[in-house]
Amino acid sequence: RALKKLLPMQKGDFKGIFRAMNGLPVTIRLLDPPLHEFLPHTEKEIGELAGKMGIQSSRLKAQVEALTEMNPMLGHRGCRLGITYPEIYEMQVRAIMESACELTRDEKVKVIPEIMIPLVGHVNELSRIRKKSEEVCQKVIQETGARVSYLIGTMIELPRAALTADDIATAADFFSFGTNDLTQMTYGL
């Protein structure tokens, strides 16, 4: 339900960006939410949310505990969260492509979307999300009847990604280099 509410908001944002960038490529990085920031933390928050969801507080508390990480900034986020919950990225890719296709078909805006998969550390992560993303892209193109070319790539921002970039390149149309995070993590290691 939450993703269905987000889809039109994302589309509105993307349409505005695509209109402004008419004819220029637009790179959109898919969501990279640190999951822990979205979980309730106190007994009161858990109780309130469980009440809204119509479930037992103990059930929600168990789910929160199962999703808690030791190091949330380096663990279950970026593409790994997208693998666990593919519907998040599928909604975003749909919003990107519906926006691009509708503007191309209805307003003759030239749209060049570049879809960036975040925090890839291994080629299999990118390959898996790319496959799903391409399915969504092709479905939207078929539904709208618009012809929009798109690219799917990633940002090299993890030391592992930098060391295995030759493998990752086999599944990417483009790379962007996140030198800030890459430098911090490399020095941190």
**pLDDT, mean of each 10-residue run, the chain (189 residues):** 91 97 96 74 88 89 76 73 92 98 97 96 96 98 97 94 96 94 86
Query: What is the predicted pLDDT for the residue at 32?
Result: 83
- How far, in Å, CA of 49 to CA of 41, rounded? 11
Query: What is the predicted pLDDT for the residue at 94?
Result: 98
- At position 61, the amino acid (one-letter code) is K
Query: What is the predicted pLDDT for the residue at 46?
Result: 87
* Chain centre to alpha carbon of residue 48: 28
Q: What are phi and psi of 147, to 5 degrees?
A: -110, 110
- At position 10, the amino acid (one-letter code) is Q
Judge contact between 175 and 155, C-beta under 8 A: yes
List all residues 6 or more positions away from 156 whose beta carbon is below 8 Å from its beta carbon. 162, 165, 168, 175, 176, 177, 178, 182
Query: What is the predicted pLDDT for the residue at 164?
Result: 96
pTM score of the predicted model: 0.84
- At position 4, the amino acid (one-letter code) is K
